[in-house]
Amino acid sequence: MVFSIVATDCTFNLMYTHPDPMVTNIPWRGKCIHCNAGILVHSDGATTATIEHINPQCNGGDKFDPHNLALACVRCNNEKGIRHDKHAGEGGRADEVIAALQFRRQTRWRS
């Protein structure tokens, strides 16, 4: 699932290419959907990033739709989960955050 997010987020790019075709665990560098901090994802899927459900599952967000998924640093994802997710759908700040993240994800979309 992590690589489906990396593959569709234009902030992620291979850090380098290796002349030896047997070397395959080359990291991809991208940005947190919230704060734009650097995130590394290795080609085997290893990362310290977390999967962000932009529209939270508790508000009907699809947990498998790549348009609803992004990578976030742990700090940002935890903060959104604590502050906003439980208030989604109430017409307040949480919905503004979700709309802003949906827009950012759309602008980062790579075909």
Task: Work out the burial of residue 103: count CB atoms within 10 Å of its CB; fewer than 13 is exposed, 13-18 middle, 19 or more buried.
Answer: exposed
What range defines the domain where residue 97 resides? 2-108
Supply the mean pLDDT for the chain. 92
One-letter amino acid for residue 44 of the chain: D
- pLDDT tens-place string over residues 56-106: 999 999 999 999 999 999 999 999 988 999 999 999 999 999 999 999 999
Going by the DSSP 8-state scheme, the letter that residue 14 receives in this structure is: E
Length of the chain as a residue count: 111
User: Is the separation of the CB atoms in 47 and 28 below 8 Å?
Assistant: no
Q: In the chain, how many domains are there?
A: 1
Structure pTM? Answer: 0.88
Neighbours of 110 (CB within 10 A): 10
Whether 24 has a pLDDT exceeding 90, the answer reads: no
pLDDT of residue 18: 80
How distant is the alpha carbon of residue 71 from its chain centre?
2
One-letter amino acid for residue 99 of the chain: A
